[in-house]
């Protein structure tokens, strides 16, 4: 009985929509926008989550990154205490190597001082490179896949050799398609022999440039004697990440003279922790998305209710005839609810197509952004659109069912 009432109402609802195409299209516009927003933003968030999760995990599940304040994704600005912290030192790296049995490797990474940096080859300039001084162990991170040439050696590091390895985009900006190895370039006015070019990391951030300029650590110290900012990349022995983290914390607290009753004045980050930080941010974005989508869906729902009330008024005589020949209240309610659900379901389907189009355009504009339409977003769009039809169609359907058949038949 119930199934028959709804299935027979679908063709009637479609015929009513065909008779008022423009009115129906304008009515569901809010549903289309709301559903499309859910699909489009959901696909971008899902794509970013996958890309950034791969990037962060590329540091290794057994890796620790130590810096003077937390790195990665933040929802608040640095505090005054964090900005005032003293930088880590090379001596800290040596102490960790000597006193942490669960640590397999410690690679210091030295940042240059402030200012505008420049790399130059003859008449070609590359501004804003990411200059860093590190040890040959940097290659173990997996981000130093060489396109041509080689990485510097420990001998070159100890003897402060003037050699440099650059990223793919730096080499392209300076040399175009030429083979750059063996040529001398200027880094902030100092001459270096270019011995290798790195490929852009396969897990780089979408749309990012590979502007790395890597120098041997002690060469960097010689070139920037006032540079102090260090980051320590630490590898833990397989299965001993937690133990390594505890050992690193204990050694650094002693090295940095942190009182026993005071919190750490440094930060130890793991891949999983940075992923959790990022997902907290995307959760906030998702909440904003839901709020914005709800506005469109509310407008669409009000439009559906309004048009269904108009439909009830226009079809008052039809309702009277149906009741006069035996239709029950439930039949009238089923008819108008079915029409409302069909109307919003069509809007939801169009919204899904619209959201998928947004996802596709984002992928075309940013080829390295792996956008995808998650199943939860598509299902949410369908369920919400049907729910809007049911919720906002109840009042008009109930109003139609309460009409007196005698009065309805008199309606002109």
Instruction: Tell if the pTM clears 0.85, that is, is over it.
Output: no
pLDDT in tens, 149-194: 999 999 999 999 999 999 888 998 898 878 889 999 999 889 999 9
Residue range 96-108: average pLDDT? 87
pLDDT in tens, 234-276: 888 888 888 888 999 999 999 998 888 888 888 888 777 777 7
Is the pLDDT at 141 greater than 60, yes or no? no
159-162 long-range contacts, CB within 8 A, separation 24+: 159/218, 160/216, 160/218, 160/219, 160/221, 160/222, 161/216, 161/219, 162/190, 162/191, 162/192, 162/193, 162/219
The reported pLDDT for the residue numbered 253 is 92
Q: What are residue 71's phi and psi, to 5 degrees?
A: -105, 170
**b or e along 196-222 (b: 16 or more beta carbons within 10 Å of the residue's beta carbon)?**
bbbebbebbebeebbbbbbbbbbbbbe
DSSP string, 126-184: EES-EEEEE-GGGGGGS---EEEE-PPPHHHHHTT--EEEEEHHHHHHHHTTS--TT-E
146 forms bridges with which residues in the sheet?
Answer: 198
Mean pLDDT, rounded, of the chain: 80
Residue range 386-408: average pLDDT? 77
Residue range 77-89: average pLDDT? 82
Torsion of CA 118, 78, 231, 282, to 10 degrees: -90
Q: Which residues contact 214 (CB under 8 A, 6 or more apart)?
A: 132, 133, 134, 138, 144, 151, 152, 164, 165, 166, 198
pLDDT in tens, 279-319: 777 777 777 777 777 777 787 788 778 877 777 777 777 77
Q: Which residues contact 294 (CB under 8 A, 6 or more apart)?
A: 34
Tokens describing residue 274: 């940075």
pLDDT in tens, 331-362: 777 777 888 888 888 888 888 888 888 778 87
Torsion of CA 155, 158, 161, 165, to 10 degrees: 80
The reported pLDDT for the residue numbered 406 is 66
Calculate ∠ Cα 29-23-311, nearest 5°: 115
The reported pLDDT for the residue numbered 195 is 93
Closest CA to 245 of 226, 229, 232, 258: 232
Residue 373 to residue 370: CA distance in whole angstroms? 10
* 378 membership: H or E segment, kind and range: helix 375-401
Residue 9 to residue 397: CA distance in whole angstroms? 13
The reported pLDDT for the residue numbered 313 is 78
Residue 48 to residue 359: CA distance in whole angstroms? 12
Residue 304 to residue 34: CA distance in whole angstroms? 14
Is the pLDDT at 84 greater than 60, yes or no? yes
Residue 313 to residue 60: CA distance in whole angstroms? 67
Is the pLDDT at 17 greater than 70, yes or no? no
Residue 251 to residue 271: CA distance in whole angstroms? 21
Q: Specify the pairing of strand 130-134 against strand 212-216.
A: parallel
Cβ neighbours of 193 (radius 10 Å): 14
The reported pLDDT for the residue numbered 61 is 65
Torsion of CA 68, 73, 77, 83, to 10 degrees: 10
The reported pLDDT for the residue numbered 1 is 45
Q: Is 307 left (phi over 0), alpha (psi -120 to 50) or beta?
A: alpha
Closest CA to 332 of 360, 349, 311: 311
The reported pLDDT for the residue numbered 155 is 93
The reported pLDDT for the residue numbered 319 is 74
pLDDT confidence bin for 56, thresholds 50/70/90: low
pLDDT confidence bin for 6, thresholds 50/70/90: low
- pLDDT higher at 296 or 198: 198
């Amino acid at each position: 009985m119930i199934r028959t009432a709804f299935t027979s109402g679908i063709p009637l609802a479609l015929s009513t929509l065909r008779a008022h195409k423009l009115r129906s299209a304008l009515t569901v516009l809010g549903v289309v926008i709301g559903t499309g927003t859910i699909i489009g933003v959901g696909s971008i968030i899902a794509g970013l989550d996958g890309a950034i999760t791969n990037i962060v995990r590329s540091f290794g599940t057994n890796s620790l990154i130590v810096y003077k304040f937390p790195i990665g994704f933040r929802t608040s600005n640095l505090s005054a205490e964090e900005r005032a912290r003293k930088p880590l030192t090379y001596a800290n790296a040596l102490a960790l190597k000597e006193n942490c049995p669960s640590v397999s490797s410690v690679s210091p990474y030295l940042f240059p001082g402030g200012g505008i940096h420049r790399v130059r080859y003859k008449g070609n300039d590359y501004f804003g490179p990411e200059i860093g001084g590190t040890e040959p162990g940097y290659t173990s991170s997996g981000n130093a896949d060489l396109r041509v040439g080689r990485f510097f050696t420990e001998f070159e590091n100890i003897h402060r050799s003037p050699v440099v390895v650059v990223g793919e985009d730096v080499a392209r900006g300076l040399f175009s398609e030429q083979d750059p190895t063996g040529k001398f370039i200027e880094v902030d006015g100092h001459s270096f022999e270019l011995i290798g070019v790195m490929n852009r990391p396969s897990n780089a951030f979408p749309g990012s440039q590979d502007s790395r300029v890597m120098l041997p650590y002690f060469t960097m110290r010689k070139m920037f004697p006032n540079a102090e900012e260090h980051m320590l990349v630490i590898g833990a022995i397989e299965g001993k990440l937690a133990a390594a983290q505890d050992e690193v914390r204990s050694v650094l607290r002693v090295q940095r003279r942190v009182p026993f009753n005071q919190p750490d004045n440094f930060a130890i980050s793991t891949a999983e922790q940075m992923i959790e930080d990022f997902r907290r941010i995307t959760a906030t974005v998702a909440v904003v998305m839901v709020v914005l989508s709800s506005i469109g869906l509310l407008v669409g729902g009000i439009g559906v209710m309004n048009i269904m009330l108009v439909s009830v008024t226009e079809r008052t005589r039809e309702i009277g005839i149906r009741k006069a020949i035996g239709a029950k209240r439930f039949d009238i309610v089923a008819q108008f609810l079915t029409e409302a659900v069909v109307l919003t379901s069509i809007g939801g389907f169009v919204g899904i197509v619209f959201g998928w189009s947004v996802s596709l355009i984002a992928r075309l504009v940013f080829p390295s952004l792996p956008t995808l339409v998650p199943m939860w977003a598509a299902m949410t769009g369908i369920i919400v659109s049907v729910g809007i039809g049911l919720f906002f169609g109840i009042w008009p359907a109930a109003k139609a069912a309460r009409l007196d058949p005698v009065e309805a038949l008199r309606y002109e």
